[in-house]
Structure 1
Amino acid sequence: MVPVSRRILLIPFLLSGFLAGPIAARAQGIDTSAPNVILIEAETGGVLFEKNPDAPVIPASTAKIMTAELVFQNLREGRIHLDDTFLISETAWRQGGAPSRGSSMYAALNSHVRVEDLIRGLVIDSGNDAAIALAEGLAGSEGAFATLMTKRARELGLDHSVFTNAWGRGDPDQLVTARDMARLAAHVITTYPDYYKYFGEKEFTWNKIRQTNRNPLLTMDFGADGLKTGNIDASGYGLVGSAVQNGERLILALYGAKNAKERADEARRLFLWGFRSFTTKTVYKANETIGTARVFGGAKTDVDLVAHRDIKLLIPHLGGEKFTGKIVYTGPLPAPVEEGQQVGQLIIRRGTLDALEIPLYTAEAVPQGPLPRRALDAGYEAGVLLWRKYMTKP
C-alpha cells in the first residue's frame, strides 16, 4: 500500500518574480454595494475581484443560462435542430405566458414554435413560456429537465448550484453561487460560440410583440455582448454579463442589487475597472515544466508537471501585494504513471485572493521500477509518515 498524503510545493519563480504588480481589489479602492460578486478573466478563469462569491443566492432568471446550456448541448450533439418545433403547452402558456403576467415571449397556447425562436424568446425576452416549452420538449416535463440541469451543473464542476425549474421561479431549493454562474458563462461562451450570439441580440419580435433585450449592458459603451439579468422579490437584482475589449474578455456575476439602476451602474463600473487596471502576462508556456511530483516505486523518483495551456496572470498596473504559487497534489504517485495524467493543481494567490487554479498533468510516463527501488521508496515514505506523526504532536 502506498502511503499517500496531500503534498504542497511552493513555486520559487512565482515567489521571487512578478512581485511588483499585484494588489488586492479592495486595496486598489474598488468595492461594490452589491453583496455577491465575482469578476473573472474568461480565458484563464483568473479572479480580478470577488465579494462573497460562494454564498448561496437565488438565481431568478439567470437560471435560464443553464437552460440555454442544455439546449445548446443538445443542438451541438445533433439530438435537436434549430428548425425543430416544440409545443407551447397549457402549462407553459399559463405559468409562463401572457396569463402569468411575468416575463414572456407571448407564444400562443397550443402553437408549435421553432427551437431557434424559443432560444431568442428565452435569452432576449427572458420568456418563462419559452423556458418551460424548451424544458418540456427536451425532457418531457419541467421537473425532469430541472434534474438534468443539476446533473449537468455537476458535470461542469459547478458543485454549489441546484436547479429546480427552468426559468428562475422562486424556490428556496433553487440556489447558485456567483462563482458557479461566472464559470457557467465562461463555459457557454467558449463551448458554443455559434449559439452564444443569441445572448447579444438587442431585440426580438414574436406574435407581433417587439421586445428589447433585458440586459442593460448591451446599450453601454464598453463591449458587452451577452448573457442574462434576473429579478424576483426574494433575490434582488442580479446579472451575469460578459464584455470584450482589445481581445480580452471579462465575465461578471453580480447578485443582490437593490434595484435595476444599481445593478447596471455597479456592473459597468466593475467592468471598466477590470479592463483599465490589469495587464496580461504569460508566466508559463503550455507544456513548460512548472514543478515535479514524487513517484512511489517508479523507474524515476520524480515526474515533471506541466499545464496544457499557457498560464497567464492579470497583473495590476499599481504595485502592492505579492503573488504566491503552490502545487497541490496527493502523493507520492504510485508507478506506473501515465503521460498526460492529471495529478494536481497549480494555485496562484494574489494577496489573500485565490487568483487562479490550473490543472497540472504529468509530462511523461514513468514505468514501475525494480523491486529494490520499490522497497527503498516504501522505507522512505514510512519514515516520512513517522516523522510527521511525532513532529506534529502537540
Structure 2
Amino acid sequence: MRLLKHTLLCASMMFSAAAAAAPVVVPNAPAVAAEAYVLMDYNTGKVLVESNMHLQRAPASLTKIMTSYVLGQELKSGRVSLDDEITVSVNAWAQNRKLKGSSLMWLKEGDTVTLDKLYQGMVVASGNDATVAISEHIAGSVDGFAHLMNTWAAELKMNDSIFENPHGLDANNQQSSAYDMAILTQALIRDLPEYYALHSQKSFTYNNITTDNRNGLLWDRSINVDGVKTGYTNDAGYSLVSSATRDDMRLIAVVMGVKGRNGNEGANNRQAESKKLLNYGFRFFETVTPYKAGDTFVTQPIWYGDKPEVKLGVLADTPITLYRGQAANMQAEFELNDELQAPLSRGAQVGTLYFRLDGQDIASYPLMVLEDVQEGSWFSKLMDYFKLLFKSIFG
C-alpha cells in the first residue's frame, strides 16, 4: 500500500506559511576561549553552538554529574535512602593521601554521616571524600561504582566517555566530552528533577565548616542559572557545566579546558565564557511548541470502522528550537505508514508528523491515533471492501 503524504499550512497555530516573514539575520556565535564547548537546548537536545564538542578530555569534577545521576537513580529505585547512615572508611578520609590537597567535605575516618549530607558535600562542596563514601555505600568500592557509571553512560549514549572513578581526579583513561556532559545534564534534569535541585544550592556547612558552591553564576542576577557543576585539575583546565532558564526555554552550556593563571582567574573565565553562550542562545533562539499533547493534527478516513474518520495527532508536546523569527516560515506535513483500517486503539502510531523549514525537515514526531475505533457492521465492512477494491483497480 502506497504511503500517503499531505502538506498542511497551519495558519491557526503559532506559525503560518501563508504570511511571508521578514528575512532572519543572526550574528555569528561569540568567540569562546575554551578547548571544547557546546550550547544545547534542553527540550529538544538540539546543539545550537559547538566547537570540538566530541573532543575527549579529562572531565575533572564534572565527573560528579554522573555520580549524582547514578546516586539519584539509586535513590529513585529505593535501593538507598537519604537517611542512610554511613561510616566513613579510611579511603574516604579527608587526610587520605589520594585525596589530600583536593576539594573536600572534611570527613574523618570512623565518623557516621547521613547520605543526605554526603550528597550535599559532593555537589555543593565538590568533596572528593564525600564522593568516595557515596560510591562505597552504593557499590562497595570505587571500582564497582565506576562500573555503574559506565553502564549508565552507555544507556545515555555517552559515546565519548570512560569513567575510572566517581570524583574526577585525573586518571589514565578517564575522559569525556562537552557533548556527553550536555546530554548527561539533560538526563539529570529530565529524569531526576528532585535531585537536580540540589545543584542550585549555594553553600553547605559540615562540622562548622561552610563551603560556597564554586559555580559563581548561581549568584548572577542577570541570568537565571540553577546548576550545574564546576571542574578543575591540571590536566583538565577549568571547566563548567551550567544550565539556565528564561520563559519556557532552558539551555545547557558546557565549557571545557578554559585557561587561567590562578584559581580566581580560571573560575572567572569559565563563568564569563559560559555566560556568553547562554546569553547568545536566549537572545537569538526560541523554542516553539506548535502542538500540545492531545492536539488533533488531521482527521483521516478509516476503513472497516464504526465511524468514517479518525482523529490523528500527538500525545506529547512538540517543542522545536530555531532562530527567532523563523517560526512564521515553518510548515507541517504528515506521512501515513499505510491505509487506516479498524480496529485502531488510541495511542497507536500510524505515521510521522514532520516540521519543515526552507524545504528541509527540522523535526519529526510520531503521528498517533487519538480515539478508539471499533470494527463496523458486516454490511459497512463489505461496502468498504468493494470501495478499496475499486480504488486499487482504478486508482
Q: In structure 2, how many angstroms separate the alpha carbons of the residues matched to 1:35 and 1:17?
A: 44
SS of match in other structure, 1:180 = helix
Q: Is the 8 A contact 1:107 1:129 kept in 2?
A: yes
Shift of 1:166: 0.4
SS of match in other structure, 1:62 = helix
1:229-267, Cα deviation, whole Å (9 max, x unpaired): 111122222111111223432221222222323211111
Shift of 1:160: 3.5
Matches within 5 A, 1:283-302: 283-286=290-293
Alignment RMSD: 4.5
**Where does residue 380 of structure 2 map in the other structure?**
none
Matches within 5 A, 1:149-298: 149-221=149-221, 222-259=223-260, 260=266, 261-286=268-293
Matches within 5 A, 1:363-382: none
Q: In structure 2, how many angstroms separate the alpha carbons of the residues matched to 1:226 and 1:86?
A: 27
Q: In structure 1, how many angstroms separate the alpha carbons of the residues matched to 2:154 and 2:201?
A: 29
1:41-60, Cα deviation, whole Å (9 max, x unpaired): 32333333233323323221
Q: Is the 8 A contact 1:67 1:166 kept in 2?
A: yes
Query: 5+ residue gaps in structure 1?
Result: 1-6, 292-298, 368-372, 374-394
Larger gyration radius, structure 1 or structure 2:
2
CA distance change for structure 1 residues 122 and 115 in 2, over 3 Å: closer, same or farther? same
When normalised by structure 2's length, the TM-score is 0.73
Deviates more, 1:55-64 or 1:30-39: 30-39
1:79-130, Cα deviation, whole Å (9 max, x unpaired): 2111212232112226878951001111112222111110111111111111
Q: In structure 2, how many angstroms separate the alpha carbons of the residues matched to 1:42 and 1:282?
A: 14
Shift of 1:170: 1.6
Matches within 5 A, 1:14-33: 20=21, 28-33=27-32
Shift of 1:157: 3.7
Q: Higher relative contact order by CA 8 Å / sep ≥ 6: 1 or 2? A: 1
**Where does residue 48 of structure 1 map in the other structure?**
48
When normalised by structure 1's length, the TM-score is 0.73
SS of match in other structure, 1:276 = helix
CA distance change for structure 1 residues 281 and 364 in 2, over 3 Å: closer, same or farther? same
Q: Is the 8 A contact 1:287 1:307 kept in 2?
A: yes
Q: In structure 2, how many angstroms separate the alpha carbons of the residues matched to 1:16 and 1:228?
A: 42
CA distance change for structure 1 residues 243 and 365 in 2, over 3 Å: closer, same or farther? same
Aligned residues: 368
Q: Is the 8 A contact 2:99 2:128 kept in 1?
A: no
Q: In structure 2, how many angstroms separate the alpha carbons of the residues matched to 1:237 and 1:17?
A: 49
**Where does residue 105 of structure 2 map in the other structure?**
105
Q: In structure 1, how many angstroms separate the alpha carbons of the residues matched to 2:94 and 2:60?
A: 19
Q: Is the 8 A contact 1:340 1:361 kept in 2?
A: yes
Q: In structure 2, how many angstroms separate the alpha carbons of the residues matched to 1:160 and 1:304?
A: 43
Q: Is the 8 A contact 1:153 1:159 kept in 2?
A: yes
Query: 5+ residue gaps in structure 2?
Result: 10-14, 261-265, 299-304, 375-384, 386-395
Q: Is the 8 A contact 2:243 2:252 kept in 1?
A: yes
One-letter amino acid matched to 1:266:
E
CA distance change for structure 1 residues 262 and 160 in 2, over 3 Å: closer, same or farther? same
Shift of 1:31: 2.5
**Where does residue 93 of structure 2 map in the other structure?**
93
**Where does residue 319 of structure 2 map in the other structure?**
312
The percentage of aligned residue pairs carrying the same residue is 34
**Where does residue 57 of structure 1 map in the other structure?**
57
One-letter amino acid matched to 2:161:
S
Q: Is the 8 A contact 1:59 1:174 kept in 2?
A: yes
